[in-house]
Amino acid sequence: MEHGLPRAAGPTPAGPAGPDLDDPRAPQLLATEHWSLLATRSLTWSEAFSRTSMFLSTLSAATVALALAGPAMAFGSAFSLFALIVLSVTMFLGAATFVRLTQVNNEDLLWVAGMNMLRASYVEMVPGIEARFIAGHTLDVAGISRSFGAIDVIRPSVLHFLVTTPAVVGVISSAIGGVIGGLVGAILGADMSGAILVGLVVFVASAAGFSGYAWREGARYRERLTAMVGGGKGP
pLDDT for 156 equals 57
Phi and psi dihedrals of 188, rounded to 5? -80, 0
pLDDT for 235 equals 41
CA atoms within 13 A on the CB side of 135: 16
pLDDT for 98 equals 96
- CA–CA distance, 81 with 95 (Å, rounded to integer): 21
Amino acid at 148: F
- CA–CA distance, 144 with 110 (Å, rounded to integer): 10
pLDDT for 232 equals 40
CB 33 within 8 A of CB 41: no
pLDDT for 114 equals 87
- Summarised one tens digit per residue, pLDDT across range 94-138 is 999 999 999 998 888 888 888 888 898 888 888 888 888 888 888
- CA–CA distance, 139 with 115 (Å, rounded to integer): 10
CB 53 within 8 A of CB 168: no
- Summarised one tens digit per residue, pLDDT across range 134-181 is 888 887 777 887 888 765 555 556 677 788 899 999 999 999 999 999
- Summarised one tens digit per residue, pLDDT across range 3-27 is 445 444 444 444 444 556 767 778 8
At 220, the pLDDT band (50, 70, 90 cuts) reads: confident
In sequence order, the 6+-apart residues with CB closer than 8 A to the CB of 84 are 180, 183, 184, 187
- CA–CA distance, 96 with 159 (Å, rounded to integer): 24
Amino acid at 228: M
Helix axis angle for 141-148 and 77-125, nearest 10°, is: 110
CB 32 within 8 A of CB 165: no
pLDDT mean over 208-216: 93
In sequence order, the 6+-apart residues with CB closer than 8 A to the CB of 132 are none
CB 116 within 8 A of CB 139: yes
- Summarised one tens digit per residue, pLDDT across range 28-70 is 888 888 888 889 888 988 999 999 999 999 999 999 999 999 8
Question: Residue 173: which of 68, 56, 50, 63 has the closest Cα?
Answer: 56
Phi and psi dihedrals of 142, rounded to 5? -65, -40
Question: Residue 98: which of 161, 167, 175, 49 has the closest Cα?
Answer: 167
At 230, the pLDDT band (50, 70, 90 cuts) reads: low
- CA–CA distance, 73 with 71 (Å, rounded to integer): 5
Question: Residue 72: which of 58, 82, 62 has the closest Cα?
Answer: 82
pLDDT mean over 170-199: 93
In sequence order, the 6+-apart residues with CB closer than 8 A to the CB of 16 are 231
CB 4 within 8 A of CB 106: no
Q: pTM, whole model, 2 decimals?
A: 0.79
